[in-house]
Amino acid sequence: MKILVPVKRVVDYNVKVRVKSDGTGVDIANVKMSMNPFDEIAVEEAVRLKEKGAATEIIAVSCGDAKCQETLRTAMAIGADRGILVETTEELQPLAVAKLLKALVDKEQPALIILGKQAIDDDANQTGQMLAALADLPQATFASKVEVSGDKVNVTREVDGGLETISLSLPAVITTDLRLNEPRYVTLPNIMKAKKKQLDTFKPEDLGVDVKPRLKTLKVSEPPKRGAGIKVPDVATLVDKLKNEAKVI
């Protein structure tokens, strides 16, 4: 069983993003970039399935500029067997990525596609769902447990007020939630091994996909600044202010 794991290169989660002064987007010049954290969880889950004998090959795929090769090498250091870069300098929106992934699903015929539930840069939470629709595959979003059994996969999902377990027939699309697993640290020997693994590159045209943006970003702005706080002398004043100024109690 092959597993395809799409991994996105995003601004590292520790970086405080700065909005460009012209409001057209966020500044990513000289900013640390990493693999989207939910995608690390997806790669880890695929590797665990392989270690359990449920999968035979893991293919990591990243769409974007040439630097996404670094993200693919990280996925291969965690345990992916090979990588595919779909190289383009165009801005990629979720629909375009879903179409590229659909073309790769047709080509590679994986039994499982495990994506992150969302990319922490655009917070779109769309790609997995769009891919499932385009490829006409069953989907389980926000997975917190994945168990493959024969030609089925049981997925536990975190829903309001509890957990829901659903059974899908393979092939299927799964998107990962935070509690699915804790990704392993990549070790130096595995980083070295990853450098030798196969990495193929395609252009969107090779896959017959038009990636032109369909949505236009009108404006990006910072959240409003918080006003300075004040110190109150005693509890009575605090209660008075909460009651009469903030009107929250």
The footprint of ligand AMP (CB under 6 A) covers 6-8, 36, 38-39, 62-64, 92, 94, 97, 115-116, 118-119, 122, 124-128
Measured from the CB atom, is 108 or 241 closer to ligand AMP? 108
Classify each residue of 144-175 as buried b or exposed e, where b means 16 or more C-beta atoms within 10 Å of its C-beta.
Answer: bbbebeeeebebbbbeeeeeeeeebeebbbbb
Measured from the CB atom, is 11 or 63 closer to ligand AMP? 63
Give 31's DSSP letter.
-
Residue nearest to ligand AMP (CB): 116
Percent helix, strand and coil across the chain, each rounded to 5? 30, 25, 45
Cβ 7 to ligand AMP shortest distance, Å: 6
Cis check for the bond before 171: say yes or no (omega within 30 of 0): yes
Query: What are the residues whose beta carbons fall under 8 Å from the beta carbon of 95, sequence distance 6 or more?
Result: 126, 130, 214
Cβ 36 to ligand AMP shortest distance, Å: 5
Is residue 200 within 8 Å of residue 84, measured between CB atoms? yes
Cβ 222 to ligand AMP shortest distance, Å: 21
Measured from the CB atom, is 115 or 194 closer to ligand AMP? 115
Cβ 99 to ligand AMP shortest distance, Å: 12
Measured from the CB atom, is 39 or 81 closer to ligand AMP? 39
